């Protein structure tokens, strides 16, 4: 076999010296092949891609060990621009087209490094042939295109350099099934012309369908690799990335990729129990529900510019229950949480918490009704101690004003020490009591997640919104978190609405599940019901598989 076009060996990357994103990652891309890297949120996929395209510096990452060789040359001292000139181009995650520039100008910016005007014109024509819709709309601003068209523009923009190796960061993100299939076809077409593709995907079905070789990346390490077809058939991959398992059925080693049947079931509660999370639905809540309010979402629609993120979504969270919102990437789950929390405005539809209508309230007013939340990307004050971060959660329960605080009036001091005591109690029950004096930026990822949960609990909510509480956690951490959440919920009788990709986690914790796909509600029910729902299976596996 000839030398690989791209050879990554023992790569380690850290952010700011405290967070290790990749450890000892090795992979190869042969010229003219398609390689997929699969992994869930927080696995380090984008970090890997940026390490290859030399764009880590822009986000504060640093390669601490290992090498990246492209076409035989070490890229260690190469900048992004030089890599692009050598034919190594990345399409960034989330499309990131230049919204204020026209389609034509976007392509022009993509071809910036091409000196030869004739070559540029050729590439330009090829791109417009590949994406006829872009030719049609080439004088419109990029921001006016639909999601799928924006993805095409992002890919087309990168193709303007006629690359030898194209790096694609989650091209299927937030696209409708037909579009995902279309993007898959496009990748194959690009590959036919001899361009190698390194593809990062959470949508394992799509990744495995187009790739020759695949790697599985989990919390910064490669945990599986092989021919895409073989990988698609392993239980490991099916379980974790297709969200399915087929008990009792041996994977066929040479089956065409991928080979799930329509009879798949989602991981059951038994599986979750092994992880340590106590099933909640089994018995009645042990405490009086703190929440007597029902959260009612009715026909909620949210649009951003031309993109509809949520369309007529309705569901109800009963007092004192755990309700999960699941769905593939881009299904609109986080948008939904953000509307409930008051961060986004609903285009139409209503949200009621008890008698109060939340739509129209500002975030802090929603919080005052006893709704607390965590964030998908941890959002803490990094320079400040964990204790003070937790105390921010107490804000709505404390009364001392600015003047009282500045003068340290006895009232304010008493309040301060009482609330510090409460915060210590909360921290101890989450197992982060010993971390309280430390500035948050010195804490590892998992602890930050727990500090953030602690801050939300400190607000003594009756409804807790958790946006991906275990994203990027190892299996052990994830089950610890599940145990903590279950326990807190049971004792305090909170209502919890959670968004999560980790299926065992969700199945173990939630009493009811609403499934979103492309902004629509496609199913709702108990975990068991949802697992058997053909629509859900289709959403997770893609149209092609469900039809098979």
Partner 1 sequence: MSDFLDSSRLPDLADRPARRHPARRVSARRVSAGRRLALVLALVVALGLPLFLNDFWLQAGLFSMAAIVAAVGLTLLVGTAGQLSLGHAAFAALGAYAYTWTAGDTGAAPAGLGLPPLLALVAAAGCGAIAGALFSPISGRLRGIYLGLATVGLVFVSRHVLVNASSVTGGYNGRRVEPFSVPGFSFSNSEPDYLAVAGVEFEGLHRLWYLFVLVTAVAAALASNLRRSRSGRALASVRDGETTAAAMGINVRRAKATAFTVSSAYAGLGGALMALAFGRIAPDLFGLQLSIDFLIMIVIGGLGSVAGAAVGAVFVTTLPLVLTEYGADLPFLAAPGSGGLDGATLSRFAYGAAIIAVLLFLRGGLAGGLGRARSTLRDRRRAPSAGADGQAQPGRQADSGTAKDPGTAKDPGTAKDPAGPADRPEHELPSHSAPAVPSRSKETSA
Partner 2 sequence: MSYLLTQLANGVSIGLVLGLVAGGFVIVFTSTGVLNFAHGSVVLTGAYLVAALQPDIGFWLAALVATAAAALLGVLVNAVLVRNLAEHNPATAAILMLGVDTVLLTEMTRRIGNRILPLGAPWGADVVSVGGVTVPTARVVAAGVAVVLFAALWFLFTRTGFGVAMRAAAADGDTASMMGIRLSRTGAAGWALAGGLAAVAGIFLTSFPTQGVAPSIGLTAFAAIPAWVLGGFDSLPGAVAGGLIVGVATALTVGYEDDLQVLGRGLGEVVPYAVMILVLLVRPNGLFGRQAANRV
Strands 348-353 and 356-357: antiparallel
Residues 85-104 that bind partner 2 (CB under 8 A): 85, 89-92, 96, 98-101
Which of partner 1, partner 2, none binds 105 (CB below 5-8 Å, type-dependent)? partner 2
Residue pair 396/480 in contact by the 8 Å Cβ criterion: no
Q: In this structure, is the dihedral angle defined by the CA atoms of residues 175, 144, 375 and 353, taken in order, positive or negative? A: negative
Instruction: Assign 3-state DSSP to the chain and report helix, strand, coil percentages, each to 5.
Output: 40, 25, 35
Size of the site for partner 1 (CB under 8 A): 123
Residue pair 268/507 in contact by the 8 Å Cβ criterion: yes
Establish if 118 lies at the interface with partner 2 (CB under 8 A): no
Q: Which stretch binds partner 1 (CB under 8 A): 70-78, 125-133, 441-449, 507-515?
A: 441-449
Give 256: exposed, middle or buried? Use CB within 10 Å, 0-12, 13-18, 19+.
Answer: exposed
**Rounded to a whole number, what is the largest CA-CA distance in the chain?**
78
* Comparison of 62 and 135: residue with beta carbon closer to partner 1: 62
**Please, which residues have CB within 8 angstroms of residue 416's CB and are 6 or more apart in sequence?**
398, 400
| 350 sits in which H/E element | strand 348-353
Establish if 349 lies at the interface with partner 1 (CB under 8 A): no
Residues 82-141 that bind partner 1 (CB under 8 A): 93-95, 99
Establish if 425 lies at the interface with partner 1 (CB under 8 A): yes
CA–CA distance, 431 with 433 (Å, rounded to integer): 6
- What are the beta bridge partners of residue 225? 215
* Comparison of 157 and 455: residue with beta carbon closer to partner 1: 455
Residue pair 189/204 in contact by the 8 Å Cβ criterion: no
Q: Which stretch binds partner 1 (CB under 8 A): 117-125, 183-191, 256-264, 471-479?
A: 471-479
Report the nearest approach of partner 1 to the CB of residue 25 (Å). Answer: 13
- Choose, by CB under 8 A, the member of 125, 129, 136, 368 that binds partner 1: 368
Residues 484-523 that bind partner 1 (CB under 8 A): 484, 487-488, 490-492
Establish if 58 lies at the interface with partner 2 (CB under 8 A): yes
Residues 337-366 that bind partner 2 (CB under 8 A): 343
Which of partner 1, partner 2, none binds 43 (CB below 5-8 Å, type-dependent)? partner 1
Residues 119-178 that bind partner 2 (CB under 8 A): 157-158, 161
Tokens matching residue 330: 């881009």
Establish if 338 lies at the interface with partner 1 (CB under 8 A): yes
**Please, which residues have CB within 8 angstroms of residue 247's CB and are 6 or more apart in sequence?**
265
* Comparison of 8 and 264: residue with beta carbon closer to partner 1: 8
Site map (CB under 8 A) of partner 2, residues 413-442, x = contact: ------------------------------
* CA 409 vs CA 403, 404, 412, 422: distances in Å: 9, 5, 5, 20
Q: Which stretch binds partner 1 (CB under 8 A): 102-110, 189-197, 376-384, 506-514?
A: 376-384
Residues that bind partner 2 (CB under 8 A): 53, 55, 58-59, 79-81, 83-85, 89-92, 96, 98-101, 105-106, 108-113, 157-158, 161, 343
């Amino acid at each position: 076999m000839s030398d690989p076009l791209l050879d990554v060996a023992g790569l380690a990357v850290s952010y700011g010296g405290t967070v290790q994103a990749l450890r000892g990652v090795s992979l190869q891309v042969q010229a003219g092949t398609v390689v997929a890297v699969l992994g869930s949120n927080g696995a380090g996929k984008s970090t890997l891609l940026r390490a290859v395209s030399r764009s880590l510096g822009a986000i504060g990452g640093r390669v601490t060990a290992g090498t990246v060789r492209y076409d035989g040359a070490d890229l260690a001292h190469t900048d992004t621009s030089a890599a692009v000139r050598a034919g190594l181009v990345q399409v960034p995650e989330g499309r990131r087209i230049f919204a204020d520039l026209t389609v034509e100008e976007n392509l022009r910016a993509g071809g910036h490094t091409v000196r030869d005007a004739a070559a540029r014109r050729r590439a330009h024509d090829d791109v417009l042939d590949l994406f006829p819709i872009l030719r049609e709309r080439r004088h419109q601003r990029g921001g006016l295109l639909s999601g799928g068209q924006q993805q095409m523009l992002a890919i087309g923009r990168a193709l303007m350099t006629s690359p030898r190796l194209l790096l694609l960061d989650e091209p299927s993100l937030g696209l409708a099934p037909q579009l995902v299939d279309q993007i898959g076809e496009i990748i194959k077409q690009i590959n036919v012309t001899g361009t190698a593709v390194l593809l990062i995907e959470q949508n394992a079905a799509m990744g495995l369908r187009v790739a020759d070789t695949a790697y599985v990346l989990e919390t910064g390490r490669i945990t599986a690799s092989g021919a895409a077809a073989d990988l698609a058939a392993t239980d490991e991959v099916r379980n974790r990335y297709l969200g399915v398992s087929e008990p009792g059925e041996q994977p066929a080693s040479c089956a065409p990729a991928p080979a799930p049947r329509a009879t798949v079931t989602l991981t059951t509660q038994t599986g979750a129990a092994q992880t340590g999370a106590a099933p909640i639905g089994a018995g009645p809540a042990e405490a009086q529900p703190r929440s007597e309010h029902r959260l009612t979402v009715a026909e909620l629609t949210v649009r951003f510019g031309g993109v509809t993120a949520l369309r007529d979504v309705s569901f109800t969270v009963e007092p004192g229950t755990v309700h999960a919102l699941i769905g593939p990437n881009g299904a609109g789950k986080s948008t939904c949480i953000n509307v409930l929390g008051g961060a986004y405005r609903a285009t139409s539809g209503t949200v009621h918490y008890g008698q109060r209508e939340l739509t129209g309230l500002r975030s802090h007013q929603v919080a005052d009704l006893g709704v607390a939340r965590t964030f998908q990307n941890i959002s803490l004050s990094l320079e400040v101690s964990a204790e003070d971060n937790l105390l921010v959660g107490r804000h709505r329960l404390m009364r001392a004003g600015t003047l009282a605080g500045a003068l340290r009036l006895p009232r304010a001091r008493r309040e301060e020490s009482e609330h510090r005591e409460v915060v210590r109690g909360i921290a101890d029950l989450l197992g982060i009591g010993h971390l309280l004096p430390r500035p948050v930026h010195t804490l590892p990822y998992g602890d930050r997640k727990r500090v953030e949960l602690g801050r939300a609990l400190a607000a003594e909510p009756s409804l807790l919104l958790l946006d991906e509480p275990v994203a990027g956690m190892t299996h052990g951490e994830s089950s610890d978190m599940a145990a903590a959440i279950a326990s807190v919920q049971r004792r305090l009788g909170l209502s919890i609405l959670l968004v999560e990709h980790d299926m065992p986690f969700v199945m173990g914790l939630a009493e009811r599940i609403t499934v979103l796909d492309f902004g629509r509600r496609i199913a709702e029910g108990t975990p068991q019901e949802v697992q058997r729902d053909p629509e859900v299976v289709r959403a997770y596996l893609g149209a092609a598989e469900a039809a098979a």
